[in-house]
Chain A
Amino acid sequence: MLNIRLYMAQRLSAMVMAPLVLGHIAVMIYAVQGGLSTAEILGRTQGSVWWFLFYGSFVLAVSVHAAIGLRVILHEMTGLRGRWLEVFTCGIGVLLLIMGARAVLAVTFA
């Protein structure tokens, strides 16, 4: 149930995610090693355009990547196809985008 466009969207979003995941892990290790408190972390992220772009692009890439991946799993496990498969794909994408956007906005907007 993948055509070339969905395939490329999933691969390209994976390419975006890969360095961002490494960056995220590096930041987590830094925060834990340095013993940063929640307030200190929020002090660095809130109002920062860079952190907004970093996690914002991650959320965008995840929404595209995961929605297409789950689409394939659902089709191959249940045989769902046609309009409902499109609705499911878009629904998962929008759901992840909203949830991720809420989290990003919460830590980057003061």
Chain B
Amino acid sequence: MSDRSKLLEVSVWRGTGDEGAYETFQVPARDNQTVLDVVSWIQQSADPSLTYRYACRVGMCGSCAMMVNGVPRWTCRTHVKRVLRDGALQVGPLRNLPVIKDLAADMDPFFDKWIRAGGVHRPSRSRNDPIQQVPPDDPGRVEANKGIECINCSVCYAACDTVAGNPDYLGPAALQRAWTLYNDAKVEDRQAVLDSVSGAGGCHNCHSQGSCTRFCPNELDPLSAIAGLKRASARSFFRRGE
């Protein structure tokens, strides 16, 4: 039953760049209400200047991730009831990324690292060759399939303490993408994938704390993907001597 008189105490980060502070709003509580609904209510009914980012509202586009009570979450699929603490909610921009304004984080470092980690498909055949058949039960395909549902929401990147301490670290999403490509039968130069993730900010910096796997909203396992890259690069190290 809906209780129209109840109010939520919501503090929202306001500011640009490094400057800012939390501002508190009273938001009507609803029986079924996501964190994104709350943020949208504030923008539509209390302060139209509030800046935030969203698109699909159904957990597919990966654009609405924010820090909710200190934890990175996809706000469109996070019910307020699950995360409410003493009737209060704190919503901030994603950790480990620069802030553009209010709740909108600058995703450039996240996607730049995707590219640095070799997250681009390097095909083994041209358009003139016949299409390569990939059996669905091929072990490499099975391993690659584990990571392809990543929506690039950057929740794992925000959760990662290694990224917080080492800004050069590529981060869980980019490394999981590299592991997917390494296991893709259609990728010709797999050594190039390993080389991309074996530099100063590469997979070897991971401390295996597992926050990426713990907080991934799609229940993916970047921690195991990174462990796979470490094993593969160690084998390559012994094979090539470097």
Residues of A at the B interface (CB closer than 8 Å) are 1-8, 11, 72, 75-77
Taking CB atoms, residues of chain B closer than 8 Å to A72 are: 205
Chain B residues near A3 (CB-CB < 8 A): 198-200, 202, 204
Shortest Cβ distance from residue A102 to the other chain B in the assembled complex, whole angstroms:
32
Complex alpha-carbon distance, A7 and B197, angstroms: 12
* Contact (Cβ within 8 A) B204 A7: yes
Interface residues of B in 121-146 (CB under 8 A from A): none
Q: Which of the residues B165, B166, B168, B237 comes within 8 Å of A4, measured between beta carbons?
A: B237
Q: Which residues of A contact B204 (CB under 8 A)?
A: 2-4, 6-7
Closest Cβ neighbor of A5 among chain B residues: B242
Q: How many A-B residue pairs have CB under 8 A?
A: 35
* B233 and A2 within 8 A (CB): no
**Could you mark each residue 182-209 of chain B with 1 if its beta carbon is under 8 Å from any beta carbon of chain A, else 0?**
0000000000000000111010110000
In angstroms, Cα B230 to Cα A11, docked, is 11
Complex interface: chain A residues within 8 A of B200 (CB): 1-3
B242 with A75: CB separation less than 8 A: no
* Set of chain B residues within 8 Å of A8, measured between Cβ atoms: 234, 237
Min CB distance, A74 to chain B, in Å?
11
Chain B stretch 101-123: residues in CB contact (< 8 A) with chain A: none
Contact B166 A76 (CB under 8 A): yes
- The distance in angstroms between the C-alpha atoms of A4 and B198, with both chains bound, is 5
Q: Which residue of B lies closest to A72 (CB)?
A: B205
Which residues of A lie under 8 Å from residue B242 when comparing CB positions? 4-5
Residues of chain B lying within 8 A (CB to CB) of residue A76: 162, 165-166
User: Which residues of A are found within 8 Å of B162, using beta-carbon distances?
Assistant: 76
Closest to A11 in B: B234
Is there contact, CB below 8 Å, between B205 and A1?
A: yes
A-B contact pairs, 16 of them (CB 8 A): A1-B166, A1-B168, A3-B199, A3-B202, A3-B204, A4-B198, A4-B202, A4-B204, A4-B233, A4-B234, A5-B242, A7-B230, A8-B234, A76-B165, A76-B166, A77-B165
The list of the 7 closest CB pairs from A to B, nearest first, reads: A76-B165, A7-B204, A4-B198, A2-B204, A2-B205, A3-B200, A8-B237
CB contacts (< 8 Å) of A2 on chain B: these are 200, 202, 204-205
Minimum distance in angstroms from A5 CB to a CB of chain B? 7
Most buried by B among A1, A2, A5, A77: A2
